[in-house]
Amino acid sequence: MIEVQGLTKSYGDTLALSDVSFTIQKGEVVGFLGQNGAGKSTTMRIIAGSLGASAGTARVGGFDVAESPRKVQAILGYAPETPPLYTNMTVGDYVRFAASLKGVPDIDAATKKALGRVGLEAVSHRIIDNLSKGYRQRVGLAQALVHDPKVLVLDEPTSGLDPAQRIEIKNLIHELSLGDDRTVLLSTHVLSEIEAICSRVIIIHKGRIVAQGDLATLGGGAEKKVHVELARPEGAIDVLRKVPGVTLVEHDGVHLVVTGERDVREAVAAASIPFGLLSLQGQRLEDTYIQLTTRETT
């Protein structure tokens, strides 16, 4: 449903994106990760048609974003991190306005459904300028949903929300991805949200894609880490350091973190049993993300 090929974007002498390519299949929910300034929002804006590329192509549902913007807009919902809201309008009027721009046949029904999905019914008559940042995020999400799009591009949709609201929006995104083969591209700094919602991850660093894959295998050639919790950790470090393939053993205050030159989970588990093995977890998304976004890009 989303095909990005060779995307490049320059701002004068500054290269924001360099030969970015990836494909997202129909029905996939894919997380888009990267540090601030890595190129996430630029990529998403190009896909949504609100920014032109310097080179390369982006296609949504088979339509070229640059050549067929109206056809793309009919099937894509885009919620930027800072929604471009008309803050002097009421919530309901703004979402109705968005519905009219998108050619929704039954504007009132679509508006009511969108407001209900994001929990805005109670504030539908309030002026947007008087809302908290969290509620403004919900208004931005409502306008992205009002035409019931088959593709959603969500840039930091839980930014500014409290923990309870984050859970609600996370559950909503998960619900939207079920059935109807809806495709979702989601960026967030909260890695637990990616792990809970997404089936696959794309990591961008300094304008280049540095990794992409499913959560279970992401990391490829990166060093493998194993997080171990022991009932009796005394003496375990020296034992684990001698396990074949282990290159480093650290104590992070709660767990032991074992780094291996390959997957050493089985050997580490066997060596940990005499020390009261309570839990063992392999390479985490956080580990891979940090490794890939703190190295220099050549």
Written as tens digits, the pLDDT of the chain (298 aa) is 999 999 999 998 899 999 999 999 998 999 999 888 899 999 999 999 999 999 999 999 999 999 999 999 999 999 998 888 999 999 999 999 999 999 999 999 999 999 998 889 999 999 999 998 888 988 999 999 999 999 999 998 887 778 887 887 888 888 777 766 789 999 987 787 887 788 899 999 999 999 888 876 664 445 678 889 999 988 899 999 999 999 999 987 678 989 888 888 889 999 999 999 999 877 667 777 777 777 655 4
pLDDT the model gives residue 84: 87
pLDDT the model gives residue 118: 87
Which residue spans within the chain are E strands per DSSP?
2-11, 14-24, 29-33, 55-60, 63-64, 76-79, 151-155, 183-187, 200-205, 208-214, 224-230, 246-251, 256-260, 277-281
Burial code (b: 16+ CB inside 10 Å, e: under 16) for 155-177 equals: bbbbbbbeeebbebbbebbeebb
Task: Answer whether 79's CB lies under 8 Å from 144's CB.
Answer: yes
Task: Answer whether 79's CB lies under 8 Å from 153's CB.
Answer: yes
Count CB atoms within 10 A of the CB of residue 37.
Answer: 11
Determine the 3-state secondary structure of 287 from DSSP. Answer: helix
Distance separating alpha carbons of residues 183 and 61, to the nearest angstrom: 10
Q: What is the pTM of this model?
A: 0.78
pLDDT the model gives residue 216: 65
Distance separating alpha carbons of residues 282 and 272, to the nearest angstrom: 14
Distance separating alpha carbons of residues 257 and 249, to the nearest angstrom: 6
Map out the domains of the chain with their CATH numbers.
2-214 (3.40.50.300), 224-282 (3.30.70.100)
Which residues is 4 bridged to in the sheet? 22, 58
What are phi and psi for residue 30, nearest 5 degrees?
A: -120, 130
pLDDT the model gives residue 105: 93
pLDDT the model gives residue 223: 60
Edge-to-edge, what's the strand order for the sheet holding 151-155? 76-79, 151-155, 183-187, 29-33, 200-205, 208-214
Which residues is 58 bridged to in the sheet? 4
Determine the 3-state secondary structure of 101 from DSSP. Answer: helix
